[in-house]
Structure 1
Amino acid sequence: MDAVRRVTSHADADVPWQAVLTLPFERRVKSRQRAVLDDGGEVHLDLPRGRALRDGDRLRAEDGLVILVRAAAECLSQAASDEPLSLARACYHLGNRHVPVQIEVGAVAYLADHVLDAMVRQLGLCVTARTGPFEPEGGAYGHHHHE
């Protein structure tokens, strides 16, 4: 099992990859773990703490293998509103509960949770279920997600 020790820089985005690693968000925030590549190969991630892996990131194993990171499809709740103030309130209350959120135009998405869905509905937003990759905001001092 090869150790993967560094994330390639954004300047390396065009570096060709030889393997793919698909992980849900919960696993993309862990810096040390064993993981199974999509082709069945195994790697040991030993990455710097404090930075979540993002869809499209590339990892380099000690043997030189370049691995493309993919965000796994997950069950998400999407709360939408045409009213910016209602959406801002929902984001505030989710953030106050330390819930990772993916901010979108007119909506906010988070990992599916029926309790949070009820809270957001009480704030006047329409909540729907969807499946897709989850790429939440990285925080004020962390890596940001931008469209």
Structure 2
Amino acid sequence: MLKLIERLGPIAENAASDTLTLPFELRIRGRLKADSDSGQALGLFLDRGPVLRDGEGLKAESGEVVRIRAAIEPVVTARVSAGLPLARLAYHLGNRHVQLALGEDEKGSWVRFPPDHVLEELAALLGAELEHHNATFDPEPGAYNQVGGGHSHGHSHSHGHGDDHDHTHNHEHSQEHSQEHSQEHEHEHHHHHAH
């Protein structure tokens, strides 16, 4: 069995020796046994992290690389006019803490989620047209996962680096801090971590 232990993030198709097609519910699990698309036995042993997305690579202990493919599965695609109605739809659905995929095509923008009566009713109430069909479900990654290239590079970061990251992050949210204040703050912050 090939033991897949490291997330590589998005990779090119020709960078992998094999592919593994999984539905969304299996792409949210870090530990899993499955057969690759060519039939070889795989075991995923990953740290908990963001959902595996279509096109991401996983590296095996032995160095082989397998590329994840999102399976075609039942989904609900909700369409509503662009602008505020779409923002409102995404906001209210997102408030339910479900994973949502967002996209656009020649017919306009859409929000997609796994079939769920509560969400379907909510979307209909917000004026969306719902289409039940089969497609890939590749949800929007969390914004914080994308900072610094996502979690895939997490292993190479030193701790100090991570701390700076969090720190600058807090500052984005509290701009009322003056510049000098943030320097003092930086000082306290590192001091605090030294203990």
**For the superposition of Structure 1 and Structure 2, which TM-score range results when normalised by the shorter chain?**
0.7 to 0.9
Structure 2 residue ranges without an equivalent (≥5): 148-195
Higher RCO (C-alpha under 8 Å, 6+ residues apart):
1
Equivalent residue letter for 1:120: A
Change (3 A) 1:76 1:14: closer
1:3 aligns with 2:3: yes
Larger radius of gyration: 2
TM-score by length of 1: 0.86
Match of 1:63, SS state, is coil
Change (3 A) 1:143 1:42: farther
CA contact (8 A) 1:78 1:128 kept: yes
Q: Deviations over 1:51-70 (max 9, x none)?
A: 22111111121222221110
Structure 1 residue ranges without an equivalent (≥5): none
CA contact (8 A) 1:51 1:143 kept: no
Sequence identity of aligned pairs in percent? 39
The total of aligned residue pairs comes to 143
Equivalent residue letter for 1:87: L
Q: Equivalent residue for 1:137?
A: 140
CA contact (8 A) 1:76 1:111 kept: yes
More helix by share: 2
Partner Cα distance (2:145, 2:63) in 1:
27
- The structure 1 segments of at least 4 consecutive aligned residues displaced by more than 6 Å after TM superposition are none
More strand by share: 1
CA contact (8 A) 2:78 2:111 kept: yes
TM-score by length of 2: 0.66
> What does 1:25-40 align with in structure 2 at a 5 Å threshold?
25-40=24-39
